[in-house]
Structure 1
Amino acid sequence: MSLHPELNAFLDLAEQSQADGAGPFYLSTPAQARDAFERTTVQLRWGAPADVQCAAHECLARDGASLTLRLYRPATLSAQALPVLVYFHGGGYVVGSLDSHDGVCREFCARTPCAVLSVGYRLAPEHRFPTPLNDGADALAWLAQQARAESLDISRVALGGDSAGATLATVLALQSALEPDALAITPCFQLLCYPVTDASASSPSTELFGEGYLLESQTLEWFYRHYANEPADRLDWRFSPLLAPAHPRMAPALIALAGHDPLLDEGRAYARHLQAQGVSVEVIEYSALIHDFLRLQSVVPEIDEVYGQLSEALRAALYD
């Protein structure tokens, strides 16, 4: 299917904005890229649910650092403990924040409905692999400790995210299957939107959509260089989960992919990899969309239907 017509003009504007600013991420410093990403967030803001309750929390990482968490709750109070979606924002491990994905978390919280714990993991290159993963595990430990006080049901926890955040989510789900004692919580579901699954190799979609479709192949390499301590890290299954050993006990997964995304082929490959291990996987491919589509509802109104579809699957996993 051809690219959604609304995205053609958007991509032209994005290219012009880069030309007028600091340029593409791969020609920027991390600080410049983060500033540009947050400015874009303001420009892309849509009417996400405003009546969701939101509270800031902090937890200690294993190295003593303070991590910021954001806990969302549906507007209607529940007499029962709420199931939880633990959400990891995208941004290639270098950019992105709790603020950049605030609208995403509000949508899933209101539509499912469920609590959403958004994790402010630390970013590269200041905090390289595997620090963001450790931060995610430490956030899960905080959730396990605080669940009773916050009226949250840790027997119904989904791990989710988009882009690199989806990678963090699925690697933590992998760890829960391969190293059960390593995590305080065992997830019951994975919600993975256009994940990075193999940073060790290129693919046809990397070549086909590696330029002109928002996420460019040179930017991907820039992200990986900042995240990895050394090139060998990219062969570690915690960096490239497609390279993980057998894991038939993993939680069921929904993998949502964009048809015009350099990560398309590795997302498809990861779905097949999980299915071959006996993991229940549903794949939804939005063929007319591009990477980062969860943040593009102001550009493509039909993203509202995407949220409806993904939230319905999340609701079934958490409530059935």
Structure 2
Amino acid sequence: MTSGDDALPPSARRLCDAMTAAFPDPARAPLEAAALRRAASGGVAPRGGPSRPLHAVGPCVGAPVPTRAYDPGGADGGRPLVVFLHGGGWVLSGLETHDRLCRELAARTGALVLAVDHRAAPEHRFPAAADDAAAGLGWALAEAGRLGCDPGRVVVAGDSSGGNLAAAAALALRDSPVAPGQGLAGMALVYPVLDALLDGESTTRFATGYFHTIAHQRWYWQQYLGPDGDPFHPRASPGLAPDLAGLPPTLLLLADCDPLRDESLRFARRLAVAEVPVRVDLRPGTFHGFLGCLGALPAAADALDGLAHWITERRR
């Protein structure tokens, strides 16, 4: 790739290359879950500045799956509640890798952020992670009032494969009988994995050279589904669900230089046809995972501000 062909500005290119160098590459050797987990836990994204201090951070007692609460204070019963699901290809990452992002979301929105963990593939294949996400979201909705939040201001969010789990959980909630008054005010998906088709112009143009590669994504799908999983099951590929009507208003925060970009744009078009309010925030000159560069990449802070503003406006 020559500089004239590069879709990233120089500052983003430097960060992207640094992250790529620190992460196992399927072009160099076969991928192994243990190696990817070590890279993720070590932090492949450059960090800038200390973590945001909050009123309280700690585990949620009584939650059906491991859940960490990020409390910015000011629990007057009217604040939003954000249920956040972390990315990592269903295989790696966890509460620690996304700690800073959750702290920033809580501080910038005034919301109580509940970071929900899930069982990891390949040890626990589909639908384990989707089941955990749905259980965590259902618990959060039921407990919103007790947690000092407005039950009408609950947003489910997630990045990458966490966006996949957030969408799958929203579909499960829509299709399940719930108590009167329950429901979501919004769904915020950050460069999400939405289907297993791996097609579109972006999968060709950004297949390599932009940190997250199509080879990575194909491997993640293999770990998640195993040899017998159905890639077209709506809880595995929520972007391919036959009916999207009844989903909450949705924000898609996307990186333009992402092989997964086009599946999100396809999902946005389907949401609009289903008369679901949808907003696409497509960030030029950014790559998959760029929010992990908060403090090192100005575009990350600007995008996070936009995400926070959208969350604070949600009311069912």
**Native 8 Å contact 1:59 1:139 kept in 2:** no
Deviation at 1:231, TM superposition (A): 5.4
| In structure 2, C-alpha distance between the alignment counterparts of 1:234 and 1:131, rounded to whole Å | 15
1:166-315 to structure 2, matched below 5 A, reads: 166-181=163-178, 186-230=183-227, 233-315=230-312
Tell whether the 8 Å contact from 2:109 to 2:312 is kept in structure 1 after alignment: yes
Question: What is the distance in 2 between the residues matched to 1:60 and 1:84?
Answer: 15
How far is the alpha carbon of 1:229 from its aligned partner? 3.2
- Runs of 5+ in structure 1 lacking a partner? 62-66
Tell me the distance in 2 between the aligned counterparts of 1:42 and 1:17.
9
Partner of 2:116: 119
Distance 1:36 1:112 in 2: 30
Does residue 38 of structure 2 align to residue 30 of structure 1?
no
**CA–CA separation in structure 1 for the residues paired with 2:297 and 2:144:** 37
- In 2, Cα distance between equivalents of 1:24 and 1:52: 42
**1:9 partner amino acid:** R
What letter is aligned with 1:74? P
Q: Provide structure 2 residue ranges, at least 5 long, that are not aligned to the other structure.
A: 1-5
**CA displacement at 1:41 relative to structure 2:** 5.2
Q: Tell me if the contact between 2:252 and 2:264 (Cα under 8 Å) persists in the aligned partners.
A: yes
Q: Is the 8 A contact 1:141 1:185 kept in 2?
A: no
Q: Give distance in 1, aligned partners of 2:288 and 2:49.
A: 17
1:255 Cα deviation after fit:
0.5
Q: CA deviation at 1:46?
A: 4.1
Return the alpha-carbon distance in structure 2 between the equivalents of residues 279 and 146 of structure 1.
26
Which amino acid is the alignment partner of residue 121 of structure 1? H
Match 1:9 to one of 2, 9, 14: 14
Which residue identity does 1:27 align to in structure 2?
A: P
Rounded to whole Å, the distance in 2 between the matches of 1:307 and 1:16 is 25
Give the partner amino acid of 1:255.
L
C-alpha distance 192-224 of structure 1, shift in aligned 2 (>3 A): same
Q: Equivalent residue for 2:3?
A: none
Distance 2:48 2:116 in 1: 20
Counterpart for residue 64 of structure 1: none
2:70 aligned partner: 72
1:133 to 108, 119, 130: 130
Tell me how far 1:8 sits from its aligned partner: 1.4
Counterpart amino acid of residue 279 in structure 1? V
Deviation at 1:140, TM superposition (A): 2.6
Partner SS state of residue 33, structure 1: helix
User: RMSD value over aligned CA atoms?
Assistant: 2.5
Distance 1:3 1:224 in 2: 27
One-letter amino acid of the structure 1 residue matched with residue 68 of structure 2: R
Q: Distance in 2 between matches of 1:125 and 1:191?
A: 26
SS of the counterpart of 2:231? helix
The answer to whether the 8 Å contact 1:258/1:264 transfers is: yes
How much has 1:51 moved relative to structure 2?
Answer: 2.8
- Cα pair distance change 1:111/1:8, threshold 3 Å: same
Aligned to 1:250, the other structure's residue is in SS state coil
Equivalents in 2 of 1:56, 1:118: separation in Å? 9
Distance 1:24 1:50, change over 3 A: farther
Q: 1:148 to 1:10 in 2, by over 3 A?
A: closer
Residue 207 of structure 1 deviates from its aligned partner by 1.3
Equivalent residue, structure 1, for 2:47: 44
Change (3 A) 1:33 1:289: same
Change (3 A) 1:147 1:225: same
CA distance in 2, matches of 1:243, 1:34: 29
Higher mean displacement: 94-103 or 302-311: 302-311
Which has the larger helix fraction? 1
- Normalising to structure 2: TM-score of the pair? 0.90
Compare 123-132 and 77-86 and name the one that shifted more.
77-86
Summarize the Cα distance change of 1:12–1:174 in structure 2 as closer, same or farther, 3 Å threshold: same
Q: Deviations over 1:169-216 (max 9, x none)?
A: 11111222233459x952110011111111134222111101010101
Q: Contact conserved, 2:81 with 2:155, CA < 8 A, in 1?
A: yes
Q: What is the CA-CA distance between 1:232 and the residue it aligns to?
A: 5.0
Per the TM alignment, residue 55 of structure 1 is displaced from its structure 2 partner at its CA by 1.6
Q: How has the CA–CA distance of structure 1 residues 308 and 201 changed in structure 2, closer, same or farther, with 3 Å as cutoff?
A: closer
Tell me the SS of whatever aligns to 2:211.
Answer: coil
- How many pairs were matched up? 310
Partner of 1:104: 101
SS at match of 2:212: coil
